[in-house]
Chains A and B, each alone.
Chain A
Amino acid sequence: MASQISQDTIIRIEGVSKKFGRLQAVDNVSMEIKRGEFFALVGPSGCGKTTLLRLLAGFETPDAGRILIEGRDMTGVTANHRPVNMLFQSYAIFPHMNVETNVSYGLKIARRPRDEIMARTEEALGLVKLSGYEKSHPDELSGGQRQRVALARALVMRPAVLLLDEPLSALDAKLREAMQLEMVHLQKTVGITFLIVTHDQSEALSMAGRIAVMHQGSVRQIAPPGELYEAPNCRFVADFIGKINLFEGTARPADQPGRVRVHTEKLGILELQGDAEGSVTLAVRPEKIIISHEPGGLEGQISLHGTVMDIAYFGGHSKLFIDIGAGQPLMAEITNSNRNGGPRVAPGDRVRCGWRAVDTLLLTE
């Protein structure tokens, strides 16, 4: 069995499903995670991320399908015998033990020699920058420090995969950003495969090497961040990852093979690369849109006219909300690259919004 699986696959999930009563929490999920990867599982709250992680850790049993870790079928293997460790959302630090006893707990359970326990505990605390806190009691520590203890307690076990359930959600914005970077560095240093769960798509984009997007229990797309952002495979992923403008339309094959003619209410008839028939969605990212005051269109560009309604200032960039007639306002992003340039646009301005046809995404699902 193990020989069929490529050497660098560390987790293989095959058609796993899990129901709670009538609720399908995980629905026929299949995926592979590679050795040494920083893999993220994203999706809105309640889409089954934690359940999938708990299935991997052995706290839930799948109703269907199976899980292989390092080529071994985990069916019937209890949590304490699985080569993975979990960083719990609540950290789950043992309140009756100090930092050192918490971190060395797993090694003591595994009956490792005393010297090894001491050396590895010290090393793990060093990795998470908690050297010197050995004798501290959990309730003397800050939230961030408690998380580091939990991290050290899992890392000290040298698991095949470290499972992290929303590890940063309890931290404030500044600390979270710092921890994101630190986690990425840490993962590179220890070389352990990280599988992180988050509902924050920007966090996943900035940390992970590959991302799986989940929706209502099933995986919609698995791809590296760039591909996920620039080439989402469905409307849900396009909308969930980053910001996007969506236009409903209907598609017909064009005269040329490999091209379609899409009719939308706001954009008129467009001819695009692709292959679709029936109802489709066109999508464009806000930063792809070029705003100008001159009327008229350019060659190869899609053009719209509208009135600037609101400008949200973010420092490095600003978001414009442009009224283009019916429905949702168009979202566009401009870079504030010039300090003394003054505002290029102001609310109430009549502007032309254009983008290249190739930057238009054609979504069929």
Chain B
Amino acid sequence: MEPWRKAPAVFVANLLPPAAWLGVFFVLPLSLLWLYSFGDKVGITGIDINWTLANYARAADPLYLGILIKSVWIAGAATLTCLMIGLPVALAISFAPRHVQPWLLLLIILPFWTNLLIRTYALIAVLRTNGHVNYVLEWLWSAGDGLLNLIGLGGYQILGTGFTPWSLLYNDAAVVTGLVYVHLPFMVLPLYAALYRLDRSLIEASLDLGAGHLRTFFYVIAPLVLPGIASGVIITFIPALGAYLTPDLLGGTDSQMIANVIERQFKAANDWPFGSALSFLLMYITFFGLAVRSLLAGRRGGGVSA
């Protein structure tokens, strides 16, 4: 065991580059930000680190607390929607013929090959007032209206006098939609990994003992892939909570999330200490989520983890 004890030079030589990389680009900037979060702004660029907790106290201000809570809420809604879509998708993939599965997984990952910004603009083209969803809705409306005229109910204006496009953009729903669209693969992949490892004969045993597919899902599949579900939820929730581009482009004035506020502190407001404090608060929430996840994973040893 412990071969590094026998060849410490090789071990150090191998470890040094990544350690240096992590140190310079991760630990160092993060430490700086951590220090800033305990400082005061002096002039335009100066920061006086005097171990004040004022920045953290300011985060508790109803304005920022409200945005933080709303961010959690939006990220939570997006995560839940991802789970509801992702679970059937992962189930379908894991029960597809073995040789088809890699192709289906590729379809899930495919959007990652396109830049997030482009994907988000594409979504705008789909959702905007003159977008594809509204085109379809308008077509459905005229078809329905034509049908009503045909059966002689045209005079009653049951569908209104004309088609009003739905406003699908620049609100919370648009942000949730965008987050679901972007983060769905994060949910599907761990779920699929857990389902893939699930012993098929357990499912067959449940069917054999008289349970239908629904009860087999709730009594056998779900409990056994619970660690996979937990992984998917955390892995989806964390980036969704820190989402910046999606709420910025798809959200309205009141649907900004915490990352947008942080961005404003570093840029427009030029308040690095407060921005740093908010960043660290966000990170602590993330750590809390991860801690809950590993606690769950540690407690139930029997399941299939992802």
Could you tell me the distance between the alpha carbons of A90 and B199 in the complex, rounded to whole angstroms?
A: 10
Residues in B207-244 with C-beta less than 8 Å from chain A:
207-212, 215, 219-220, 223-224
Given contacts A88-B204, A95-B302, A96-B303, contact A106 B199 (CB under 8 A): no
Kindly provide the distance from the CB of A150 to the nearest chain B CB, expressed in whole angstroms: 8
Q: Are A157 and B210 in contact (CB under 8 A)?
A: yes
Instruction: For B207, give its contact among A80, A90, A110 (CB under 8 Å).
Output: A80
Could you tell me the distance between the alpha carbons of A106 and B199 in the complex, rounded to whole angstroms?
A: 19
Q: Which residues of B contact A59 (CB under 8 A)?
A: 204, 207
Tally of B interface residues using CB under 8 Å: 20
Is B201 positioned at the interface, with any CB of A under 8 Å from its CB?
Answer: yes
Is A231 positioned at the interface, with any CB of B under 8 Å from its CB?
Answer: no
Which of B199, B209, B212 has the most CB atoms of chain A within a 10 A radius of its CB?
B209
Q: Which residues of B contact A79 (CB under 8 A)?
A: 204, 207-208
Kindly provide the distance from the CB of A85 to the nearest chain B CB, expressed in whole angstroms: 6
Which of A86, A94, A106, A154 has the most CB atoms of chain B within a 10 A radius of its CB?
A94
Could you tell me the distance between the alpha carbons of A96 and B199 in the complex, rounded to whole angstroms?
A: 13
Q: Are A80 and B208 in contact (CB under 8 A)?
A: yes
Given contacts A88-B201, A92-B201, contact A78 B207 (CB under 8 A): yes
Kindly provide the distance from the CB of A324 to the nearest chain B CB, expressed in whole angstroms: 49
Is A177 positioned at the interface, with any CB of B under 8 Å from its CB?
Answer: no
Q: Are A80 and B224 in contact (CB under 8 A)?
A: no
Q: Which residues of A contact B206 (CB under 8 A)?
A: 94, 105
Instruction: For A95, give its contact among B208, B219, B224 (CB under 8 Å).
Output: B224
Q: Are B209 and A90 in contact (CB under 8 A)?
A: no
Is B292 positioned at the interface, with any CB of A under 8 Å from its CB?
Answer: no
Given contacts A80-B212, A109-B215, A139-B302, contact A94 B207 (CB under 8 A): no
Could you tell me the distance between the alpha carbons of A86 and B204 in the complex, rounded to whole angstroms?
A: 9
Q: Which residues of A contact B220 (CB under 8 A)?
A: 94
Which of B205, B212, B302 has the most CB atoms of chain A within a 10 A radius of its CB?
B205
Q: Are B210 and A109 in contact (CB under 8 A)?
A: yes
Is A57 positioned at the interface, with any CB of B under 8 Å from its CB?
Answer: yes
Is B291 positioned at the interface, with any CB of A under 8 Å from its CB?
Answer: no
Kindly provide the distance from the CB of A190 to the nearest chain B CB, expressed in whole angstroms: 17
Kindly provide the distance from the CB of A293 to the nearest chain B CB, expressed in whole angstroms: 57
Could you tell me the distance between the alpha carbons of A31 and B219 in the complex, rounded to whole angstroms?
A: 36
Interface string of B56-95 (1 = CB under 8 A from A): 0000000000000000000000000000000000000000
Kindly provide the distance from the CB of B76 to the nearest chain A CB, expressed in whole angstroms: 27
Interface string of B173-206 (1 = CB under 8 A from A): 0000000000000000000000000010110111
Instruction: For B199, give its contact among A92, A139, A154, A157 (CB under 8 Å).
Output: A92
* B residues adjacent to A (C-beta < 8 A): 199, 201-202, 204-212, 215, 219-220, 223-224, 300, 302-303
In the A-B complex, the 8 residue pairs with the smallest Cβ-Cβ separation, listed nearest first, are A106-B209, A92-B205, A92-B201, A79-B207, A95-B302, A109-B210, A109-B211, A88-B201
Q: List 9 A-B contacts (CB under 8 A).
A: A80-B208, A80-B209, A86-B205, A86-B208, A88-B201, A95-B202, A95-B224, A96-B224, A109-B215
